[in-house]
Each structure stands twice: as structure tokens, then as C-alpha cells.
């Protein structure tokens, strides 16, 4: 049982390049999330998917797109990377059922945009 996996672990991009961060969970969870974590600012929600087939914007969606490929996988795409997107990105999942709210996080992707 791997839990939540993310690839890649590290990435360096030049301004304007694009990339996709991959996330997969094997816990049969309904809900999945993408966060970014910056020093002193805590985790901020970028996009989330409450269930397969749905996605919604979070607090900081500008510059990002997501795809809920199936129940297991939720990807985050940067179409044209900017230095302000330098951050650590975490994917998380939760059962998505009333009464069960804890989130399970992946190991993170450390992204640097130069």
C-alpha cells in the first residue's frame, strides 16, 4: 500500500516552460487535492476534486490546470511557468465521505522556476 505517490520529486524549469505534476493514490479515496507550500505561508489549496469527474478552484488557482484522470490519479499542469510558482507542491487525498475528513499527503515535489 503506497498511499499517495507524486512524481517527480524535484524539477527545475525555465520561465515559460510547461510541465505536469503527477499524483496517484491507492486508497480508493474519492477526494484529491493539490496544495503549494511556501515559507511562512502554510499550505494553500490550488485545486481540488471532490469526486471523480469533478474539479474546482481553490485559493490560488491562477497559472494552473488540473485533470482528474480517474479515481486514482489527479495531475497538476503548469502551462507557462513563472518564478512565482517556485514552491513545494503536495498532493493529498481523503475518503471524501461525511465524517471522515483527514487528508493523506504525498511526499511533495520541489519545483524551482528560474
Partner 1 sequence: SQKIEQNSEALNIQEGKTATLTCNYTNYSPAYLQWYRQDPGRGPVFLLLIRENEKEKRKERLKVTFDTTLKQSLFHITASQPADSATYLCAGPTGGFKTIFGAGTRLFVKA
Binding site for partner 1 (CB under 8 A): 4, 31, 33, 35, 40-45, 48, 50, 56, 58-59, 90, 92, 94, 96, 101-108
3-state secondary structure of 84: helix
Residues in contact with 5: Cβ distance below 8 Å, sequence separation at least 6, in sequence order: 23, 24, 25, 106, 107
Least distance between partner 1 and beta carbon 74 (Å): 13
Quote the least distance from Cβ 17 to partner 1, whole Å. Answer: 24
* Closer CB to partner 1, 41 or 82, in the complex: 41
Q: How far is the CB of 60 from partner 1 (least distance, A)?
A: 12
What does the buried/exposed string (b/e) look like for 42-73 if buried means 16 or more CB atoms within 10 Å of the residue's CB?
ebebbbbbeebeebeebebbeebebebeebbb
Judged by beta carbon, residue 53 or residue 102, the one nearer partner 1 is 102
Amino acid at each position: 500500500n503506497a498511499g499517495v505517490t507524486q512524481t517527480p520529486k524535484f524539477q527545475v524549469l525555465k520561465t515559460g516552460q510547461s510541465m505536469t505534476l503527477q499524483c496517484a493514490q491507492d486508497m480508493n479515496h474519492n477526494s484529491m487535492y493539490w496544495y503549494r507550500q511556501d515559507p511562512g505561508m502554510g499550505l494553500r489549496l490550488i485545486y481540488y476534486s471532490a469526486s471523480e469527474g469533478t474539479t474546482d478552484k481553490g485559493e490560488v488557482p491562477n497559472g494552473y490546470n488540473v485533470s482528474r484522470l480517474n479515481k486514482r490519479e489527479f495531475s497538476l499542469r503548469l502551462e507557462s511557468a513563472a518564478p512565482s510558482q517556485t514552491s513545494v507542491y503536495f498532493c493529498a487525498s481523503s475518503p471524501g465521505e461525511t465524517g471522515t475528513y483527514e487528508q493523506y499527503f504525498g511526499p511533495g515535489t520541489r519545483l524551482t522556476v528560474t
